[in-house]
Structure 1
Amino acid sequence: MSRFVTKLAVRGAVVAAFAAVPGLAQAQDRAVDENTGPVAFANVAAVRIGEDGGSVISETQRSPLLPGTSRLAQSRSALPGSDGEREAVGPHYLLHLGTFADGESPFPDGVASREHDVTATLKDTTVPTATAEANYALRDLASGTTVVAFEDARSTVECAAPDALTAETTTGRLWVLGEERAAPTGDEPLRIENLPFGPPVEVEGADPEQAVSDITIDKVTSFDQLVRQDQWRSGPVTTAAGWRLEIVTHVRDADGADLRDVTTRFVLGGVSCSLPEAFTPVTSDPGEDRADPVVPVKIPAGAQVNTGAGEPFGWALVGGGVVLGAAALLLARGRRPATARAEE
């Protein structure tokens, strides 16, 4: 009798424990494979100098392995953002990511300080989506001018099914050297040549007054155009979005003789999502009321090894601990009367 009642207590405890943690059983059914499952990535900004030069890639958010959202912290407010990052890409360019103190705006008049919003999400249906929203102002510190500014730049992707991929890149307003320009809306880029500013890096023998730069602004249309860490992967089905800013600087000496060209490539708000070929979204229960947790899952800035890959499992283990703890508590409570009845 004691053994039979104890078994009932265990089963009842497990059922009650899952009931006490809303959505946990359903969430476990929605876990995706880290290497082959649906995934989304979002990055606020990245820059590369030339083909073999230095690069800085800000912290990239990756969608969790369970339904939830990973969001970039507001501590990332500029690129480069440290001495090490400046050593990688040079001392002369500084990309502001939206916030500024009173009286210190790098933006044209009328642009308010705002925080960026960069997220990678795995929906409750296991559909991956990513969005990057920010204001951007690229300053040439050598000349003290704002080269390019975006207000309300936004890029977003969603992979609802292998045949239902969406990608969109927009901006509210765009300025080049303080002059408002029409942003590219289709496949045609915006090109402006012979602008009076120099490269991001020091070039021996260069005369800053002789340098001119050509700017090209267009949209990311393929995964290969992103500036990304190795851990930022694609899949059998992938789409991407974001703004591309390319600057080719013609560096000259004091006599006007050409020394070299320096090419600088920015990707602003780079996002992507990917699916396996046979992906089918999970059907949500219309009566299920759940709020997806905010789960920090990121690829660190620069070329560091990904230390965030295990974080979704950490969240799952916390959930598992809740279940086991609740089961143990209920089991302990259930054993007392069972033992008492057996002794009687």
Structure 2
Amino acid sequence: MTRFVTKAAALTAVLFPLAGAGLAGAQTQAVDEKTGPVSFANIASVRIGDEGQRGGALITETQRSPLLPGQSKLGADRVSVPKDDGERATFGGHYQIDLGRYSPSQDPYPPGVASRDHNVVAALQATTVPTAVAETNYALRDNWQGGAKPADNTVLVLEGAKTAVDCTGPAKLTGSSSVTRLWVRQGGALGIVPMPGGTAGLQLKNLRLGPPGDIEGAGKETTLSDLKLTRVAGFDQLIRQDGWRGGDFTAVAGWRAEITTHVKNAEGAALQDVRTTIVLGGVSCSVPKGFVAKAAAPAGGTTATQAAVPTQVPAGYLGAAAPDTGGDGSRLPLGIGLLFGGVFFAAVALLLGRRRKSGTD
């Protein structure tokens, strides 16, 4: 029996350090959930009313970078906002934001803008650098106008819009917001409008654009809106869930549309002003103080790929962006525990079998 105990103990010492080494390797690759490098990407979110005042917010699914190198990508089934009756009730019922893909009978874009899938990704690169991108064609419709075709209700189009951030290090943060062509309906048909560079933005007045929801007594012919379109320049300009966090150093990008609707009755008497804020392609990345990117993987080595379980904050969710892992990082992943536990007990069974065989010899 002494010989068996000695062999079993020795085998345990050999096997379980392997599990510990594997776990240590995983720990060196994972980033801290609460303070480590992180990125977020959101295709479209809306707030009705000024922040802090009576109103509501509709925040679509937000992608968060994984804790290990990989990426989280928005599913192709999100083709518009609102997506269902619940979102429509929050949004007000009049506005609709199309996000790239459409059927021929429901084309909301001007001629020449092809149907396409969006690309909305939050990633942690193999170097642990967080990045994010959101790119597609956006179209804002006011279905209250009652046009014969979907495109007849379109007021604003961002064709070939792309927002991206990259946080290579505390001193190397980049954020960009670009658009191939900007279309606005001013009076008659949709027309191309130059978009100023930098943070100046574009301001247009008296657009045929009503309120986001029903207002008693509102007149379609007399109700007009002012539009201010700018590039997101600060973290607080994003519309985000509580789980969408920043860091010691943060880069942002996105398109921010601020709409002020002057609601009047059919006779032209003012009823009220309604403020609507829309952020399209909101993205951010953050790194902590002292962050240093890891060396790039050698040619043919591991690169960032689609995470097995993408991290996503559900639409409208205001909780934490990822489940609590316990904080101390000491939990053994279930697969590893089963693997090495199985090897250990199989080895013990093998030794027991040999012991019994030697006892009968």
Task: Give the one of 173, 181, 189 matched to 2:193.
Answer: 181
Q: Using the alignment, how far apart are the partners of 1:296 and 1:312 within structure 2?
A: 16
- Paired residues of 1:28 and 1:66 also in contact (CA < 8 A): no
Correspondence 1:323 to 2:336: yes
Correspondence 1:286 to 2:298: yes
Aligned to 1:84: 86
Q: Deviations over 1:213-244 (max 9, x none)?
A: 12221100110110111221112211110011
1:114-133, aligned counterparts within 5 Å? 114-133=116-135
Distance 1:40 1:13, change over 3 A: same
Q: Deviations over 1:52-85 (max 9, x none)?
A: 2222110111112222211112222211222222
Task: Give the one of 309, 313, 331 matched to 1:299.
Answer: 313
Correspondence 1:334 to 2:347: yes
Q: Deviations over 1:183-240 (max 9, x none)?
A: 3322221122112221112222221110111222110011011011122111221111
Q: CA deviation at 1:96?
A: 0.8
Q: Using the alignment, how far apart are the partners of 1:130 and 1:291 within structure 2?
A: 13
Residue 242 of structure 2 aligns to a residue in which SS? coil
Aligned pairs, number: 338
User: What stretches of structure 1 of length at least 5 have no aligned partner?
Assistant: none
Task: Give the one of 127, 132, 148 matched to 2:156.
Answer: 148
Aligned to 1:41: 40
Q: Deviations over 1:151-204 (max 9, x none)?
A: 221111111111111111112222112111223322221122112221112222
1:27-66, aligned counterparts within 5 Å? 27-51=26-50, 52=53, 53-66=55-68
Q: Tell me which amino acid in the other structure corresponds to 2:340.
A: A
TM-score (norm 1): 0.88
Aligned to 1:240: 252
Q: Using the alignment, how far apart are the partners of 2:159 and 2:10 within structure 1?
A: 62
Q: Tell me which amino acid in the other structure corresponds to 2:323.
A: G
TM-score (norm 2): 0.85
Correspondence 1:251 to 2:263: yes
Residue 210 of structure 1 aligns to a residue in which SS? coil
1:155-304, aligned counterparts within 5 Å? 155-177=163-185, 178-286=190-298, 288-294=301-307, 295-304=309-318
- Paired residues of 1:69 and 1:120 also in contact (CA < 8 A): yes
User: What stretches of structure 2 of length at least 5 have no aligned partner?
Assistant: 148-152
Residue 67 of structure 2 aligns to a residue in which SS? coil
Aligned to 1:6: 8
Q: Using the alignment, how far apart are the partners of 1:323 and 1:194 within structure 2?
A: 63
Q: Using the alignment, how far apart are the partners of 1:312 and 1:220 within structure 2?
A: 32
- Paired residues of 1:61 and 1:299 also in contact (CA < 8 A): yes
Q: Using the alignment, how far apart are the partners of 1:285 and 1:139 within structure 2?
A: 45
Q: Which runs of 4+ in 1 moved over 6 A?
A: 15-19, 316-319
Q: Using the alignment, how far apart are the partners of 1:37 and 1:27 within structure 2?
A: 15
Residue 115 of structure 1 aligns to a residue in which SS? coil
- Paired residues of 1:47 and 1:57 also in contact (CA < 8 A): yes
Q: Using the alignment, how far apart are the partners of 1:40 and 1:271 within structure 2?
A: 7
Q: Using the alignment, how far apart are the partners of 1:148 and 1:32 within structure 2?
A: 40
Q: CA deviation at 1:304?
A: 4.4
Structure showing greater Rg: 2
Residue 5 of structure 2 aligns to a residue in which SS? helix
Distance 1:180 1:63, change over 3 A: same
Q: Using the alignment, how far apart are the partners of 1:310 and 1:227 within structure 2?
A: 22
Q: Tell me which amino acid in the other structure corresponds to 2:8.
A: T
Q: CA deviation at 1:283?
A: 3.5
